[in-house]
């Protein structure tokens, strides 16, 4: 699972702000569209820990990932994130509050 911290926005009013981004475990590039990515996961079994990987839906990315970790269970990234947020008590209201904070930091809201 690749999560990196990158600059929040190129036009940020505060140059040192960074935020987490998901990176494709198949190609190493940032995932910009959850609708075009998948979460691959391995449930814990004897001898193996749980594993989660993120991947673009491009055949080359999926192929590279499967070479690294083998065939795993998968689901659309948007669904995976929705389930994760829901199971963490992350409500639509919380999402809007956090988006407002991000916009404020980036100087997009007065």
User: Quick check: is 110 in a domain?
Assistant: no
Average pLDDT estimate for 55-75: 93
Domain count, the chain: 1
The pTM for the full model equals 0.78
**Are the C-beta atoms of 32 and 54 separated by less than 8 Å?**
no
Tens digits of per-residue pLDDT, 82-107? 999 999 999 999 989 988 887 887 76
pLDDT tier at 40, thresholds 50, 70, 90:
very high
Q: Evaluate whether 61 touches 26 at the Cβ level (below 8 Å).
A: yes
Q: Is 76 inside a domain boundary?
A: yes
Q: In 3-state terms, what secondary structure has residue 32?
A: coil
Establish if 56 belongs to a structural domain.
yes
Q: Write out the residue range of the structural domain in which residue 54 sits.
A: 2-105
Across 1-110, the runs of DSSP E, i.e. the strands, are: 2-7, 18-23, 37-42, 51-56, 73-76
pLDDT confidence bin for 15, thresholds 50/70/90: low
Residue 96 and residue 110: Cα distance in Å, rounded? 16
DSSP assignment letter at 48: B
């Amino acid at each position: 699972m690749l999560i990196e911290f990158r600059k929040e926005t190129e036009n940020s009013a505060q140059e040192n702000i960074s935020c987490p981004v998901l990176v494709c475990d198949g190609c190493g590039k940032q995932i910009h569209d959850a609708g075009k990515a998948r979460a691959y996961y391995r449930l814990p079994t004897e001898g193996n820990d749980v594993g989660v990987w993120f991947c673009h839906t491009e055949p080359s990315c999926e192929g590279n990932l499967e070479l690294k970790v083998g065939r795993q269970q998968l689901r659309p990234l948007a669904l995976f994130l929705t389930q994760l947020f829901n199971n963490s008590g992350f409500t639509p209201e919380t999402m809007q509050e956090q988006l407002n904070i991000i916009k404020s930091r980036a100087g997009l809201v007065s």
